[in-house]
Structure 1
Amino acid sequence: MVPPAQVMELRDAIREERACQICLLNYKKSGQKFWDQLYVNPVHDDEGVVTHYIEVHTDVTDVLAKATDGLPVDDVDAIEGVQAVGMEEKKRSMEICSCLADEMGKVSLSAHGACSVLPTSLLQSLTRIQQSLVLVDPNQPDMPIVHAGQGFLQLTGYPREMVIGHNCRFLQGTDTDVKEVAKVRTAITAKPPQPVTATLLNYRYDGTPFWNYLHITPIRGADGGIAYLAGVQVDVTEKGVEGEPGKVSMKHKLLHSGTVGKVKVAVRSLAGGDRGLRREQGSCELPRRGSVDYS
Structure 2
Amino acid sequence: MSDFLVVGECVADIVRTPGSPDVPHPGGSPANVAYGLARLGRPTTLLTQLGQDDAGRLIGGHLASAGVKVLTDGQAGVATPTAVVTLDGRGAATYDFDIGWTLRPVDVPAGVRHVHLGSIGAVQPPGAAAALDVAARLRGSATVSYDPNVRPALLGGRVEAVARVERCVALSDLVKASDEDVEWLYPGEPAASVARRWLELGPAVVFVTLGGSGALAFTRAGQVTGAPVVVEVADTVGAGDAFMSAALDTMAGLGLTGAAARPDLPAAFDGPALARTLHRAGTAAALTVSRSGANPPDAAELAAALSPPGAAR
TM-score by length of 2: 0.28
Higher relative contact order (CA 8 A, sep 6+): 2
TM-score by length of 1: 0.29
Q: Which of the two has greater helix per residue? A: 2
